[in-house]
Amino acid sequence: MISFRKIFGMGGHVVTRIAPSPTGALHIGTARSALFNYLYAKKYNGRFILRIEDTDRKRSRKEYEKDILSGLAWLNLTYDELYRQSERTAIYAPYIKQLLRENKAFVSKEKSTHDSSVEVEVIRLRNPGKHITFFDEIRGEVTFDTRELGDFVIARSNTEPLYHLAVVIDDHEMGVTHIIRGEDHISNTPRQILIQEALGISRPVYAHIPLILASDRSKLSKRKGGAEVAEYREKGYLPAALVNYLALLGWNPGTEREIFSLDELVDSFSLSHVQKSGAIFSEEKLQWFNREHFRRLSSSEKVNLLSTVFDGKKTEEIVHIVPIIDERFDGLQNLAHAVRDGEYEYFFSAPSVDENVLPGKSGTLEDARGHLQKLVQLLESTSDFSAEGVKDTVWEYASEKGRGEVLWPMRYALSGKEKSPDPFTIASIIGKEETLKRLRRAAAL
């Protein structure tokens, strides 16, 4: 493997780039490529460049550019420099003239692709027709026979370079040292190397990372759903969770560790641990990362996050239900739906109780009333109202009379729901006074 020092010397600096086209929203695959470029640049105190390749005037849209910029910002992938290819057209002309002057390119008259009766001029590179071998940091030596490429078109005119020529010139002008991109770009490399050699431009380091695949092992695409970063942002995933998961799609730290912050990823990242085979995207796994990252937030961070969902609730009220959210957090969007459906309302106000539901399936209303009255007596005398304290206080009685027959009416009296956390947890959250109040009210039915 080519060493960092051999290429750049002791004083060299790594420069990476991500070059999305604003012809669509920020794709998960593009975000992962941006992440790998960011991690590698920061690992070596280098620069990470964002270059918007917007020369396709028909398909490029400003709203897509905004989506790319806001998506990278949301993921905290900050770039050091921002360029738009459409603002750089004057830079390309001297290079095209150089190729024509040195007879390494030539003007060719051809039929227009839009109208076969019209002739247009294009500029083609003189392909020397040889085998090109380059070293890929992930795949090792790769060889192409460039004869099959022919003399390919590199520009429409002296000021309109096509993709391959513009990329080579931009990378050279921006001092890009490492090109880390998806393996679907590997077939572009021989053309770009031929252009580099024709212009006398030094070759950067290449690293082609594996594709992100759908569950059927096809390339993850918009038509399969779940391909855009904005979709996961709207679902309420934490950006740290998505970054963490994307990093592990095609890379591993060499250990069993899975949870990383962005700074920890910078410290751990290396191209030598990037795998060759494609990585399957699983939203179920992403949900796991989301829960784990939520649990690792500080109490104040959780409250600030939850306050956007529990609109109108006081901070001191939200604090109490954080342990409940910890266990079932699956994104802010789902949480918001649950809040709108009233799933958590019983933590903030007393629920309505149906006397037909209160006894459960096996008991009677009279039985339930007796159990609730006994629970009131037991809990009135306890000073430890933690979940464990409440459980210890009522457990012996519940075991004696039948746990289901005692704990069901207790839980239902506190929550008003047939599905809820255990009654000990609810009681500890709403407090002793409110717990006794709800149990007495249910017993009076």
Residue 72 CB partners (closer than 8 Å, separation 6+): 26, 31, 34, 50, 78, 79
Tokens of 45: 């105190």
Residue 21 CB partners (closer than 8 Å, separation 6+): 52, 53, 54, 56, 59, 60
Same CATH fold assignment for domains 222-295 and 365-443 = no
Per-domain boundaries in the chain: 222-295, 299-347, 365-443
- Over the stretch 278-308, which tens digit does the pLDDT of each residue have? 999 999 999 999 999 999 999 999 999 999 8
Residues of the chain with confidence (pLDDT) below 70: 1-12, 222-226
Task: Give how far Cα 290 sits from Cα of 2, 38, 71, 348, Å.
Answer: 37, 21, 17, 26
For domain 222-295, give its CATH number from 1.20.58.1880, 3.50.50.60, 1.20.210.10, 1.10.1160.10: 1.10.1160.10
Please state which CATH number belongs to domain 365-443: 1.10.10.350
pTM over 0.85: yes
What is the reported pLDDT for 8?
A: 47
DSSP state of 213: E
Helices 283-295 and 239-247: angle between axes, nearest 10 degrees = 130
Q: Is 432 an active-site residue? A: no
Is 222 one of the annotated binding-site residues? yes
Catalytic residue among 66, 97, 111, 222: 222
Task: Give how far Cα 98 sits from Cα of 92, 119, 166, 236, 264, Å.
Answer: 10, 25, 14, 52, 46
SS3 205: strand
What is the reported pLDDT for 244?
A: 98
